[in-house]
Structure formats: structure tokens, C-alpha cells
Amino acid sequence: MSGFRDSASGSQPYKDPTPLPDSVPRVQELGVTSAPLKSAAFFIGAYCKEYNEDFMLCKNEGRGDPGQCLKEGRRVTRCATDLINKMRENCLEQFDAHWNCLELNNQEYYACRKPERTLNKCMFEKLGLTKTVPGTPVGKKQIHEVENPIYTTVQR
Amino acid sequence: MPVPWEALIPFGLLTSMFAAAGTLLNVSKRAQNQGKPVRYHIDSWDEMMMDRDRRLTGHLRGQSSNPVPPEGFETSSAWYTEATS
């Protein structure tokens, strides 16, 4: 990816010289890094389905103008923050175990099924959310529920 | 009959050199990645997420599940200066 970095202020981190104007309402950005987000991804999909779909449809018809979908974007951020807070309140140990396992395994889901099962169980009991993979063929089991998967960490 | 053990010294040297080099490389890689295994098969999405992790925690492999980002996170993205085409 090419980018222009102004070399005059190389010692400080990059600071955007043109931030959003004050007329745009502020939303607290989500400070969660990649591994916990990957762990919570399917639950965000289940919990925030309407807001996410709203945003994607708005972007689809927007034809590249970022200013049109700011409201839907704020809603998406707020919903995801809400879910992360709820997850941390209710299922903190299982959540931490799962994303730590992901970090040790190149962030691959297939390597961390055991912590994932405990996390799914906890999320279902406390918050009523299930993980469903949208593209699974009808009639086949969800890949995270298959007992003896073909692709594991150990080469067979 | 005396066994010519001096002839085995070069083999021992070779083995220990390989082991030392391998261990040193492994330790160096893990130290660069905060004690975790190296990430492989990284695509542009992963690079973008790791850059975001660096903005959030200071290190490419740093992770945190705190939903509140540090100060200055909202203006530290160099995305706007990237070329669009």
C-alpha cells in the first residue's frame, strides 16, 4: 500500500491534520484489537445484524461518498461496543481464553475449537446468542460443531 | 581396543552449531513477536488489522480487549493519505 507520510514530524505518531468537524456527532471508537474482535465476530454478526445490514446497504447505494453513511456507521460502532461490554461482563474468562488461543495459532479458528465451545456455551446461556456461519450448505453441520474435522492443527 | 572418539568431535560440533543457530533464530523470532509464534499467510486485511493493533497498543502483536481506545486513536490513522488508485 503506498502512502504519503510527511517526514517533518517523524518522531511523533501520525496525527490527522484534518479531523472531523464538530458538526459531526462523536462516537467512542472501539478500542478492541484484532484477536478479541475475531473471537467475537460471529456474535457481533448475530447481535448487530440490523445495524450492520443497514450500513452495508447504505454504502452500496452511496457510490463511494463516505459522508452519506456516517449515521449508520455510528450505530454500528455503538452496537459493537455494547456487545463487547456485555461479553466482558458475562463471559470474561472464556472470551479471554479463546482470543489468547487464537493469538498463539495465527488467528485461525480451526486451532481453537475447545475454548470456542466453552465460549459459545457461555454466550448462549448468558446472552442467548449463537454462532452461525452464513455460508454453510443446507443439511450440513456447522463447521465448528463437526466432531472429527478433516482440517486440524495436526497433519493426518 | 581404544575407540577413536576424537573422530566424533566434528559431528558433535556440527550438531551443536545447528542446534544453537536454530534455537537462536527461534528465540529471536519469538522475542520480536512478544513471545508468540510468528504470524504467517498475512494478507492486506491482516496487515491493516495489525497496523490498527499498533495504533491501539504500541506493538504490532499487542492485543487488548478493552473497548475504550487510548487517547489520539481517532486521529492516528494514516488511511486518508493512502493513494486511492
More confident residue, A10 or B5: B5
Q: Which residues of A touch B39 (CB under 8 A)?
A: 106-107
Residue type, position A7, single letter: S
Q: Which residues of B touch A88 (CB under 8 A)?
A: 65, 67
Contact A33 B63 (CB under 8 A): yes
Rounded to an integer, what distance in angstroms lies between the CA atom of residue A6 and that of residue A45? 38
Residue B25 C-alpha, separation from nearest chain A C-alpha, in angstroms: 18
* Closest by Cβ to A29, choosing from B63, B64, B73: B73
ipTM of this complex prediction, to 2 decimal places:
0.85
Nearest CA in chain A to B44: A1
pTM given for the model: 0.86
Percent of chain A with pLDDT over 90: 68
pLDDT per residue as tens digits for the range A28-43 = 999 999 999 999 999 9
Contacts 24+ apart (CB under 8 A), A72-79: A74/A25, A74/A27, A75/A51, A76/A48, A76/A51, A76/A52, A77/A27, A77/A28, A77/A29, A77/A30, A78/A27, A79/A44, A79/A47, A79/A48, A79/A51, A79/A52
User: Per-residue pLDDT for chain B (85 aa), expressed as one digit of tens each?
Assistant: 888 999 999 999 999 999 999 999 999 999 999 999 999 999 999 999 999 999 999 999 999 999 999 998 988 888 766 666 5
Contact B76 A81 (CB under 8 A): no
Contact B68 A36 (CB under 8 A): no
Residue A55 C-alpha, separation from nearest chain B C-alpha, in angstroms: 20
| pLDDT score of A142 more than 80 | yes
